[in-house]
Structure 1
Amino acid sequence: MEFDGKVVVVTGGSRGMGQEMVRAFAAEGAHVVVASRKLDDCQVVAKAAEAMHGRRALAVPCNVSDWAQCDALIDSVYQQFGQVDVLVNNAGLSPLYPSVDQITEAYFDKVIGVNLKGPFRLASVIGARMAASGGGSIVNISSIEAIRPDPTAIPYAAAKAALNNLTEGLAQTFGSSGVRVNAIQCGPFLTDISNAWTDEMRVLFDNQAALRRCGNPDEITGAALYFASERASFCTGAVLRLDGGVR
């Protein structure tokens, strides 16, 4: 029960890796906040966490690409719990596009908004409040696309590269106040997104990894729990590759 009494906020927490991290933190004693666009999905995960682990769980609808909704999420959490000890910026998306020259401004703004603007706003405001109250941990969920951009995900790759940069910048900003900021740079994981992969894509992703497979959603939890815990007390500004050894 390493996180007994701690408050952990997970964006994109209603499915995939986010849902697994909610479960893992609740199992370690944390009160959890499940944030995602659809309230019904958040409530399902929150109720399950409460039932299984006896922790308080708050479901909050939030499109993190919207600055005002990020602020509303922060207000809701502090009104309910009075604190945030861990923030996991997990929400992300990368819809397919026909070709890079046909990317619209709306598409570009949406991808940058979810993958960069939202994490910046949440980490900046919550990080400042953590600093004022003695410390905390922020974990940004990045992607291998940040260093190896694929032609099918250029805006997403750019946003994740910027998220890596943001991780180190905020680590420097808040470090003297006891707030640690780290990132997990994920390779292909078998989340809901993988349902849209072709058989050829799955074979390619499997073969690119030294372990010859993609990650399972629950395989992110060890890294997330480590970065959020006191075992990582001297670790900040780090970007951990969690990709099965993609080459």
Structure 2
Amino acid sequence: MNSIKQSFDLEGKVAVITGSSKGIGKAIAQGLAEYGAKVVISSRSQEAVDEVAAEFKTAGLEAVGIACHIGKKTERQNLVHKTIAHYGGIDILINNAAINPVYGPIEDADEEVFDKIMDVNVKAPWMLSNLVMSSMKERGGGSIVNIASVEALHPGAGLGLYSTSKAALLMLTKNQAKEWGPYGIRANVVCPGLIKTKFSAALWQNEKLLQKIEKTLPSARMGMPDEIAGIVCLLASDAGAYMTGGVYNADGGYMIAG
């Protein structure tokens, strides 16, 4: 009888998590590390990633900090090369870093903003995944988890371009799953709802707006970053070995809310 508990074990696996110096990314990195993975903490600031890596090491977890602005080609390449040089390969990629520089009607945004959003939210995960693919192939497979948003599935207010970029990420993931399945590489998407992070502060710091949102949710509250970590650990591990090309919501019931 195979041990189900054992299938969550990530001992010997190497995981790269973008945007992991805080919020959802940091919680995911912690979860993967607690299951035994060697984790690469990555965000734009070397100081910030070093701080998190040091915090993890103090807690007995294996981590290294490698700064990377995922919108820049050379920095993406550097992240992958440095990870392979340090840990020998890559088994898990969590494309979590994203931006949303505008809030408002789609007709008010300018082209530069559109390009910036698409560059970071769609192009960077595509390019990063391509960069890690050969290492995953060599190691007999791997798991890519792209962090999208419920905005990819349901249009909200004032987040049109962000929504569009996240919807594109969904289809990118499905294509990765379809094309790379023969190499043992799985790709899945997690769509968080409203999670208490700095990224979503504009929504939850407005008390009236927060109450309005929470009233409509079956869970009657917003989520916390560590509530996204569990499903990512499942998708990253052998416990999720038969899951690929899937879109999984962690949204407190937002998608069924009336």
How would you bin the TM-score normalised by the shorter chain?
Answer: over 0.9
Q: Once structures 1 and 2 are overlaid, which stretch shifts more, 93-102 or 26-35?
A: 93-102
Whether 1:238 aligns to 2:254 is no
Q: Distance in 1 between matches of 2:199 and 2:216?
A: 18
Residues 207-231 of structure 1, C-alpha deviations (whole Å, 9 max, x = no match): 2321111111100111000001101
Corresponding residue SS for 1:223: helix
Corresponding residue SS for 2:65: strand
Tell me the residue number matched to 2:157. 151
| Unmatched 5+ stretches in structure 1 | none
Q: Distance in 2 between matches of 1:241 and 1:133?
A: 29
Shift of 1:159: 0.7
Shift of 1:75: 1.0
Give the number of equivalent residue pairs. Answer: 246
User: Equivalent of 2:218, from 210, 218, 227?
Assistant: 210
Tell me the residue number matched to 2:21. 14
Shift of 1:123: 1.1
Calculate percent identity across the aligned residue pairs. 33
- Opposite residue 109 of structure 2, the aligned amino acid is I
Whether 1:42 aligns to 2:10 is no
- Opposite residue 228 of structure 2, the aligned amino acid is I
Whether 1:142 aligns to 2:126 is no
- Opposite residue 65 of structure 1, the aligned amino acid is G
Q: Distance in 2 between matches of 1:51 and 1:10?
A: 19
User: Equivalent of 2:236, from 201, 223, 228?
Assistant: 228
Shift of 1:184: 0.5
Tell me the residue number matched to 2:113. 107
Is the 8 Å Cα contact of residues 174 and 187 (structure 2) preserved in structure 1? yes
Corresponding residue SS for 2:39: strand
Corresponding residue SS for 1:116: helix
Residues 126-183 of structure 1, C-alpha deviations (whole Å, 9 max, x = no match): 1233123310111010100011122311111011001110111000111011111111
Shift of 1:200: 2.5
Shift of 1:190: 0.6
Shift of 1:98: 4.7
Tell me the residue number matched to 1:183. 189
Is the 8 Å Cα contact of residues 65 and 114 (structure 1) preserved in structure 2? yes
Is the 8 Å Cα contact of residues 173 and 245 (structure 2) preserved in structure 1? yes
- Opposite residue 31 of structure 1, the aligned amino acid is K
Whether 1:32 aligns to 2:39 is yes
Residues 19-63 of structure 1, C-alpha deviations (whole Å, 9 max, x = no match): 1111111111111101111111111111111111242x2211111
Shift of 1:9: 0.5
Tell me the residue number matched to 1:192. 198
Q: TM-score, normalised by structure 2?
A: 0.91
Residues 88-132 of structure 1, C-alpha deviations (whole Å, 9 max, x = no match): 001012123454323122211111111111111111221233123
Shift of 1:201: 2.2
**CA gap 1:54/1:94 in 2 versus in 1, 3 angstroms:** closer
Is the 8 Å Cα contact of residues 16 and 90 (structure 2) preserved in structure 1? yes
Alignment of 1:74-89 (within 5 A): 74-89=80-95
- Opposite residue 233 of structure 2, the aligned amino acid is L
Tell me the residue number matched to 1:62. 68
- Opposite residue 213 of structure 2, the aligned amino acid is F
Q: Distance in 2 between matches of 1:78 and 1:228?
A: 18
Is the 8 Å Cα contact of residues 127 and 138 (structure 1) preserved in structure 2? no
| Unmatched 5+ stretches in structure 2 | 1-7
